[in-house]
Structure 1
Amino acid sequence: MPSLSKFLSDNRGLSEKEADWLQHLVGDWNLVSDLLRADLVLWIQGVEGAHAVAHCRPATGSTVYYEDPVGIVITDEQESSIPSLLAGAEPTREPEPIEREGREATGLLVPVRKDGRTLAVLAAESPLSDGSRSANEVHQHELGRRLLRMLESGAFPIEGAPIPPRRGAPRVGDGVVQLDANGVVRWASPNALSAFHRFGIDGAMEGITLAELSTDVLQSRSPVDESLPLVLMGRAAWRSDMQARGGTLSLRAVPFTERGVRTGAVILVRDVTELRRRERELITKDATIREVHHRVKNNLQTVAALLRMQSRRMKSDEAREALSEAMRRVSTIALVHESLLQGSEEAVHFDEVIDRCLRLAVDAASATVHRAGAPRLTETQVEVHTEKIGRVGSIRAEEATPLALVVTELATNAVEHGLSETGGTLTVRSERVGSHLVINIEDDGDGMGAAKPTGLGTNIAITLVQGQLGGTLTWQVRPGGGTCAVVDVYLDPLSL
């Protein structure tokens, strides 16, 4: 089924600005749906007739559609008022009896206009009620009808007002307060009254300015959002949080206008105390984790520096080489912790780690080579180019450390045993499909022939691949000369 964007982009009768207006409407029309307790269907004119391009179900009542109506086409020959309304006819503004999927319902058609032009038709359809409406439903229905009148005149959705973020956004079911043009409370739903009572506002609210009621309980030492007074008075279509006594209310104001004059507002209210508390805990946890990674990185760099100093004091070449290898491995682990500092999650962008592992492997592998682009220390040094092909993407921190060590060990072996005398190119080729990752570490040197790789670095790489990563490590003869080490693992999925 095509998306709303596809429907609108394919409609040549709508300009880009008009299409954006309809997108803005669909992004915020759950407010109208919840107030009216009705399904909303958006119809636009197409080549074949009127097309249903978007649908919204109410969160406060029953739906009349079991199947999504998006994609239905009404031709001009069919008995319906929608094509005539799309052509500019005036609506009846009264609900009419309809039938949806074998059930009786009522439908109200409202033209969606902007700058005097009909862009679409909004159908508000709700199941037929068996009994009388409660006072709460009557008030909410009237508020919804006021928004429909604004929709018809081009005043809703409110121009310039941002679409509210989903996280913690209040909806009609959370609580509704109706204000007049002066910000005085005219009616509040039971859920809204409960939220304000928990917040610290006692007694009746009707007949009193909402800003006055809230000012008495606001924490004087807590920072207050600059938009809060405008929201409490219903003067701006905005969202704001209000905090007092350890509780937090999320407020959203939607002003009512008639012929460009503000006549009141509806305030949606939600108690988000627990949500904000958890958000603060996550922020604190994230800051703590970053600090831990920072300290671990610094400590590992200190250990690497001490190993480097100790290796310079060694008189034995074997001892000096062993300390240098230990220094390189510690530095590789430090790279992973430094990468974790850059992101907001416990995941590592491993392609950046590979770049640094390659530089580290070439620089620390042998005194007989130098990295391409780096200064040559002696005239006898050969040059090694590094190349990275493909992408690994993000992986879990628990897998990044052993994988980084494996890549560094294999890259170091490739330089020391394949390129230290002839120079050449060291290539890391990565291919990832879902959780399956294959990394090839290749060199175009002399090759190892039939010899089997040995040594401490090889044993470390095999142990890490098989033990911690649950994969395989094999060596192949590279076509055209050289050696290729193949790491084949299945990664754990990232937890979002």
Structure 2
Amino acid sequence: MSDLASRHASLDAADLEWLHLLVGDWQVVSDLAFADLVLWLPTSDGDFIAIAQCRPSTGATVHYDDVVGSRPPDGQRPQLRRSLTEVRAQRSREPRWFGSYAVREEAVPVVHDGRAIAVIARQTNLGGARTPSRLELNYVEAADDLMGMIARGHFPAVNAPTGPRRGAPRVGDGLIRLNSEGEVLYASPNALSCFHRLGAIGDLVGRSLVEVTTDVIDEPMAFDESMPLVLMGRAPWRTDLELHGVALSLRAVPLTEDGQRLGAVVLCRDVSELRRRERELMTKDATIREIHHRVKNNLQTVAALLRLQSRRMSSPEARDALAEAMRRVATIALVHETLSQTLDEIVPFDDLVGRSLRLAADVASAGGQVRTVVHGTFGLVPAEDATALALVLTELVTNAVEHGLSSQGGGTVDVTAERDGSELTITVADDGVGIPVGAGAGTGLGTQIVQTLVTNELRGTIAWEPREGGGTQVVLHIVLRNPGRDAATSGESGGW
């Protein structure tokens, strides 16, 4: 829509934002009117171009093919021009035929700051024309009021939030028409059922919706402060009402004319099952985070026991072995600590790797001046791969410090990450003594752990080689799980 507007017209930012607001909230108008809506923007060459369209979910559509990006037919242009220049709605006297069915057309100017900046074509399929029901008459009357507000620049409402919670009510879910005093003029059967589930008895017509709701409240409870304004139709807001195990999502659309309130349309939807599922998911998420938190605590306890045990060892080799085991357990605990603080089974690995590598380098250097520098970004890593990858990097940095830098009293370990979707290439390089050409990996326990994790857990490859300019570099290439998603910015676990 923005691209079409920039190529074919010269709208300022405020006008374009107004059109975006309109398109973001015009489905309710289309459903109430049983009509297709097409937004025609006047172009720089004096013509029009369709930049958005909306099909009704309550009736038959007119346009089975998209018309966005097309020009209007010759017979429609005069109507669009009159609506734009005269700044008032233009309705065709005779329907226009689209193949085998007739279409009633109306052109309504879109007004912003007192200026007509575009035109909406309201097109109703008359192929199934019959005597309208009371529900349909109320729908169309509400649609006429909203189209009039569009022509006066009073719809959409700038301060009408869509709401952060799912379950926004639609026209077919339940509709209530209110007068200016908040009394019910009409309630659709679905809307009546919603309030009957709350405990309201009898018909709603002629009664104040606020009083109906107040009468069914028989227990002290907290309510959203915006609820009375929504129930009276005075503010274009959304709210939820939960009572007696029933949850209703309510949205008010005030109707005005020349600054005077005509009434309002209140849409309602029974979202009891949706809210119940949301609570179940929240409980499950909290349980999973608590499990990660407890695993982290248990692993820290194991690390503390290993530390106490190492102090009682007289053999330096035994103390070093227990220290290495303690470090590995601490690395796994760090992964679970990170998972306990997130909603998804995804680890922001850049935060974790900085902490774990600094800890590994400090422990392995034993007082030497060792610096770890991380280049690039790891992104988000699935929990299935995070533990193995953290252990591998910790082992590689530890080996670089102990075997490459220890003899010269310190140095630098560079860790470079290159991410392309689910593919991750990591280089761990040090400026130490280096290894002979063709020597490859060593035979120590740390090297064996690394090779096993890379091959079996991460399904990747790893190679040791001399670094240009001195030192050693290890190149690791892996493909993270969930390759169908861009895990650099998002991802999810395949299951625990």
TM-score by length of 1: 0.91
Match in the other structure for 2:423:
436
Match in the other structure for 1:145:
144
Report if aligned partners of 1:150, 1:257 keep a CA contact under 8 Å in 2: yes
User: How far apart are the structure 2 equivalents of 1:52 and 1:152?
Assistant: 18
Q: CA deviation at 1:31?
A: 0.8
Q: CA deviation at 1:393?
A: 0.9
Cα distance 1:246–1:495, how it changes in 2: closer, same or farther (>3 A)? same
The one-character-per-residue Cα deviations of 1:145-176 (angstroms, maximum 9, x if unpaired) are: 11101111111112422244572100101110
Cα distance 1:84–1:224, how it changes in 2: closer, same or farther (>3 A)? same
Among 26, 29, 34, the alignment partner of 1:29 is 26
Match in the other structure for 1:374:
none
Match in the other structure for 2:13:
16
% identical aligned pairs = 53
Structure-to-structure mapping, 1:214-229, within 5 angstroms: 214-218=213-217, 220-229=219-228
Cα distance 1:95–1:56, how it changes in 2: closer, same or farther (>3 A)? farther
Match in the other structure for 1:395:
381
Cα distance 1:426–1:47, how it changes in 2: closer, same or farther (>3 A)? same
SS at 1:454 equivalent: coil
User: How far apart are the structure 1 equivalents of 2:290 and 2:193?
Assistant: 41
**Which stretch shows the higher mean deviation, 299-308 or 24-33?**
299-308
User: How far apart are the structure 2 equivalents of 1:163 and 1:120?
Assistant: 24
Question: How many correspondences in the alignment?
Answer: 480
Unaligned runs of 5+ in 1: 368-376
Q: CA deviation at 1:140?
A: 0.5
The one-character-per-residue Cα deviations of 1:184-215 (angstroms, maximum 9, x if unpaired) are: 11111121122222222222111111111111
TM-score by length of 2: 0.91
SS at 1:336 equivalent: helix
Letter in 1 for 2:386: A
Q: CA deviation at 1:225?
A: 0.8
Cα distance 1:355–1:466, how it changes in 2: closer, same or farther (>3 A)? same
Cα distance 1:349–1:388, how it changes in 2: closer, same or farther (>3 A)? same
User: How far apart are the structure 2 equivalents of 1:94 and 1:269?
Assistant: 34
SS at 1:58 equivalent: coil
Q: CA deviation at 1:91?
A: 3.2
Match in the other structure for 2:485:
none
The one-character-per-residue Cα deviations of 1:73-102 (angstroms, maximum 9, x if unpaired) are: 349998432134333454334575224476
Letter in 1 for 2:381: I
SS at 2:61 equivalent: coil
Letter in 1 for 2:470: G
User: How far apart are the structure 1 equivalents of 2:209 and 2:312?
Assistant: 76
Match in the other structure for 2:462:
473
Among 383, 406, 416, the alignment partner of 2:402 is 416
Match in the other structure for 1:356:
355
Letter in 2 for 1:478: R
Cα distance 1:410–1:133, how it changes in 2: closer, same or farther (>3 A)? same
**Which stretch shows the higher mean deviation, 332-341 or 281-290?**
281-290
Cα distance 1:495–1:366, how it changes in 2: closer, same or farther (>3 A)? closer
RMSD: 2.2
User: How far apart are the structure 2 equivalents of 1:88 and 1:165?
Assistant: 39
Unaligned runs of 5+ in 2: 483-490
Report if aligned partners of 2:87, 2:151 keep a CA contact under 8 Å in 1: no
The one-character-per-residue Cα deviations of 1:350-386 (angstroms, maximum 9, x if unpaired) are: 111211121022111132xxxxxxxxx5xxx3x2221
Cα distance 1:219–1:426, how it changes in 2: closer, same or farther (>3 A)? farther
Match in the other structure for 1:372:
none
Letter in 2 for 1:43: W
SS at 1:60 equivalent: coil
Structure-to-structure mapping, 1:202-351, within 5 angstroms: 202-218=201-217, 220-351=219-350
Q: CA deviation at 1:341?
A: 2.9
Match in the other structure for 1:370:
none
- 1:489 and 2:469 aligned: no
SS at 2:473 equivalent: strand
Match in the other structure for 2:488:
none
Match in the other structure for 1:426:
413
Letter in 2 for 1:479: E
Cα distance 1:444–1:247, how it changes in 2: closer, same or farther (>3 A)? same
**Which stretch shows the higher mean deviation, 204-213 or 169-178?**
204-213
Letter in 2 for 1:445: G
User: How far apart are the structure 1 equivalents of 2:165 and 2:2?
Assistant: 20
The one-character-per-residue Cα deviations of 1:422-477 (angstroms, maximum 9, x if unpaired) are: 33221111122222222222222222213331111111111111222222222223
Match in the other structure for 1:123:
121
Letter in 2 for 1:118: A
Report if aligned partners of 2:9, 2:44 keep a CA contact under 8 Å in 1: no
SS at 1:278 equivalent: helix
User: How far apart are the structure 2 equivalents of 1:219 and 1:143?
Assistant: 33
SS at 1:337 equivalent: helix
Match in the other structure for 1:81:
79
Among 63, 66, 69, the alignment partner of 1:68 is 66
Match in the other structure for 2:486:
none
Cα distance 1:139–1:233, how it changes in 2: closer, same or farther (>3 A)? same
- 1:44 and 2:44 aligned: no
Report if aligned partners of 1:76, 1:83 keep a CA contact under 8 Å in 2: no
User: How far apart are the structure 2 equivalents of 1:95 and 1:274?
Assistant: 47
**Which stretch shows the higher mean deviation, 485-494 or 109-118?**
485-494
User: How far apart are the structure 2 equivalents of 1:139 and 1:106?
Assistant: 19
User: How far apart are the structure 2 equivalents of 1:160 and 1:443?
Assistant: 57
User: How far apart are the structure 1 equivalents of 2:73 and 2:60?
Assistant: 28
- 1:461 and 2:447 aligned: no
Match in the other structure for 1:154:
153
SS at 1:320 equivalent: helix
SS at 2:256 equivalent: strand
